[in-house]
Amino acid sequence: MDGNSHHNSAHGLTPWHGTTIIGVKRGGKTVVAGDGQVSMGNTVMKPNARKVRRIGEGGKVVAGFAGATADAFTLFDRLERKLEQYRGQLMRAAVELAKDWRTDKYLRNLEALMIVADAEVLLVITGNGDVLEPEGGITAIGSGGNYALSAARALVDYEEDPEVIARKAMQVAADICVFTNANVTLESVES
């Protein structure tokens, strides 16, 4: 699901689509990986942004974002607060964040999508108030998201390790999408 298909940035340029984040859940292990590129229009501003990170108490939740960097940090911060509030229950925290994101005046203007995961669930959170559990345990967002998703879906029949699937899928996306680079950050959680 490509974020820039239903969003037109108020700023004219859409910096937020320049990225790929993938989540793969298989056999008790979940991996979230993302590239490091931040683009503004057709210009690469920064090749090594950390778009995937551990959040919450003890780093039990992994989150990745496609979107404007400042917006994403606001969302990471909000999600961490929700996790504290709901004692680490990711599904509940994600639903509450999505609700705020849809209704809060300030948050509504944020342009981003998030993939979040803990040992139990893999979710996509959108600014429309959606919390989606991907079919088959694979999801991807950002401008290279569809490439990574296609590659990962093709790989699952031949590969068990979610980290191998995520890395290969990110490589495919980096080779095809000009807004995605091969500088991959990967975090994993196991049940």
Known catalytic residues are 19
In 3-state terms the chain splits into helix, strand, coil percentages (rounded to 5) of 40, 30, 35
Could you tell me the CA-to-CA distances from 113 to 14, 58, 175 in Å, in that order? 14, 24, 22
Contact 156, 134 (CB under 8 A): no
Pairing of strands 20-26, 29-34: antiparallel
Q: Which residues pair with 116 in a beta bridge?
A: 63, 123
Integer Cα distance of 94 and 116 in angstroms:
8
CB 51 within 8 A of CB 21: yes
Tally of CB atoms within 10 A around 164: 15
